[in-house]
Amino acid sequence: MVNERYSFLALAKHALTGHKNWQPAIRHPEPKDKYDVIVVGGGGHGLATAYYLAKLHGINKVALLERGWIGGGNTGRNTTIVRSNYLLEENANFYEHSLKLWEGLSSDLNFNVMFSQRSVINTCHTPAELESTMRRYNAMRLNGIDAEFLTADELKRRVPSINLGQDGSLRWPILAALSQPRGGVARHDAVAWGFARGADALGVDIIQNCEVTGFKRAVDGRITGVETNRGPISASKVGVAVAGHSGQVMAMADVRLPIESHLLQAFVSEPVKPFLDVVVSTGALHFYISQTDKGEVLLGGGLDGYNSYGQRGTIPNIQEVTSAATEMFPNISRLKWMRQWAGVMDMTMDGSPIIGKTPVPGLFFDGGWCYGGFKAIPGSGWCFAHTIATGEPHSLNASFTLERFGRSAVIDEKGAGPFPKAH
Amino acid sequence: MLLIPCPHCGPRPETEFVYGGDARVKRPDPSNSSDEQWAAYIYERENPKGQHQELWLHSAGCHLWLIIERDTVTHAIGSVRAAREDQQ
């Protein structure tokens, strides 16, 4: 089925008939008995994987199975930041590839994902942080990634509402900042819908309300399909991208993961007039801030700090994030919170994701995105599709294997050691 | 906010504690263990959706390491005991 192209002309045409004749963006097919590939999980990563499998690898007999509705998990719960300001080469190459895909995504998908490259700025508050950030700046430039180092005065000119704290109002005043101008934000729902519509147009069956309840295995152990609440479905290759519940799904195939599930909270305020046109984050004070297109102030912080699947969040973290935010942006101190929520993060033991093969032949895994999965959506789908289609990882995800932990070949961007809550 | 019933200090808020993760991890015997056992010790954790045995240090209190059974969905705390009891 080929979707109608979205364009100014289509908009004008449908305006003449009162917008009553738009086609649905995706079909709602019944599952077939057999596919070439099954992708489990209808978040951004799963949908992007299905799209790139069909588009780049010519595999059209693909079923995407989603327990709830597409984009209803962490894809719909995150703070939409896109960046590639990493230190380690593996991360830099992968996330920069993803950022480049973001830059062409709206036109590739014919769906406006509202990608806004408004700069992602990290502030430095101590001499040690200044040095490590300068090191990261140099690494970024050597890897061909855009970066700017801003003095405190330059930061104040770029972000007038920020409190540098040099009058003693911050315990650790802002000394300087690292900016990635090509970083920014995107519309999270549009990413899910755009990839879903693109995949559907290429023949992928997106099956919602279909929960995987087990894996079908041959005598020699290889995957032959999945069991679902809507009956068994066969396929010789199954890719799992179910962030948040990776451990539960992979346990059905007897695969143990180096992952703990933790909560990350986010908050939005009542909407106000535009005053902040960048993303600002601080590692020292544990919070980040941006303003949405609707005018809401969007905040996030650090992890709640202990294993949890409760998508609520706890009070101490609300207090920490709010106090840090009102110190650095005193002008938001009288805003009211409108909503607060939490998502379940797959926190890996080195803070980096896993995209690749598993010990079970035919079963592939994409997960462990910690709290940075949103920006990775196009790159992750692109690499995971390559891995599933060819049976081997692409050079961009060759380091992000599951078995790297057995070799202690970890990719520990922060140098925090095997402590998931510390990444 | 968790209210953790410390066996020494009584009920105290979670902000007095430091989380130590999965309490069932056991250090392998150094003289007689494979690379796989060491890798599992360092990198693999129980991650249940439900009852979880976990370590907590009462760092702003009595400094006892505790083993707490807590539900990872409801956050309800079940049994609490000092970790040193397991070593005796």
* pLDDT confidence band for B88 (50 / 70 / 90): low
Contacts of A350 (CB under 8 A, 6+ apart): A405, A410, A411, A412, A418, A423
Chain A residues with CB-CB distance to B22 below 8 A: 260
Q: Does B60 touch chain A (CB under 8 A)?
A: no
Helices A89-103 and A127-142 cross at an angle (nearest 10°) of 70
> What pLDDT score was predicted for residue A175?
97
Contact B43 A258 (CB under 8 A): yes
Q: CA B21, CA A423: separation in Å to the nearest integer?
A: 14
* pLDDT confidence band for B86 (50 / 70 / 90): confident
Q: CA A236, CA A234: separation in Å to the nearest integer?
A: 7
Q: Among B14, B36, B47, whose Cβ lies nearest the Cβ of A307?
A: B47
* A420 contacts A345 by C-beta, under 8 angstroms: no
The string of pLDDT tens digits covering residues A213-257 is 999 999 999 999 999 999 999 999 999 999 999 999 999 999 999
Q: Does A78 touch chain B (CB under 8 A)?
A: no
Which pairing describes strands A296-303 and A287-291: parallel, antiparallel, or unpaired? antiparallel
For residue B52, the SS3 value is strand
> What pLDDT score was predicted for residue B85?
85
Q: Does B41 touch chain A (CB under 8 A)?
A: no
Give the CA distances from residue A324 to residues A101, A416, B65, in Å, rounded to whole numbers and listed in that order: 33, 23, 30
Chain B residues with CB-CB distance to A305 below 8 A: 19
Per DSSP, the residues of A256-312 read --SEEEEEEEEEEEEE------SEEEETTTTEEEEE-TTSEEEEEEEE-SS----TT
> What pLDDT score was predicted for residue A138?
98
Q: What is the pTM of this model?
A: 0.96
Nearest chain A residue to B47, by CA: A260
Q: Residues in chain A with pLDDT < 50? A: none
Q: Above pLDDT 70, what percent of chain B?
A: 98
Amino acid, single-letter form, for residue A6: Y
> What pLDDT score was predicted for residue A2?
60
Q: To probe the interface with A, which of B14, B45, B53, B68 has the most A CB atoms within 10 Å?
A: B45
Contact A259 B45 (CB under 8 A): yes
Chain B residues with CB-CB distance to A316 below 8 A: 1, 13-15
What residues of chain A, 165 to 224, have a C-beta less than 8 Å from chain B? none
Contact A406 B35 (CB under 8 A): yes
Q: Among A305, A315, A408, whose Cβ lies nearest the Cβ of B19?
A: A305
How are strands ordered across the β-sheet holding A212-217?
A212-217, A223-228, A233-234
* A199 contacts A212 by C-beta, under 8 angstroms: no
Q: CA A130, CA A264: separation in Å to the nearest integer?
A: 26
pLDDT at B87 over 90: no
**CATH architecture for segment(s) B3-25+37-87:** 2-Layer Sandwich (3.30)
Q: Among A247, A308, A406, whose Cβ lies nearest the Cβ of B36?
A: A406
Q: CA A218, CA A341: separation in Å to the nearest integer?
A: 42
Contact B43 A314 (CB under 8 A): no
Domain range annotation of chain B: 3-25+37-87
Tokens of A363: 């079963």
* A158 contacts A121 by C-beta, under 8 angstroms: yes
Chain B residues with CB-CB distance to A406 below 8 A: 35-36, 39, 43
Q: CA A283, CA A231: separation in Å to the nearest integer?
A: 47
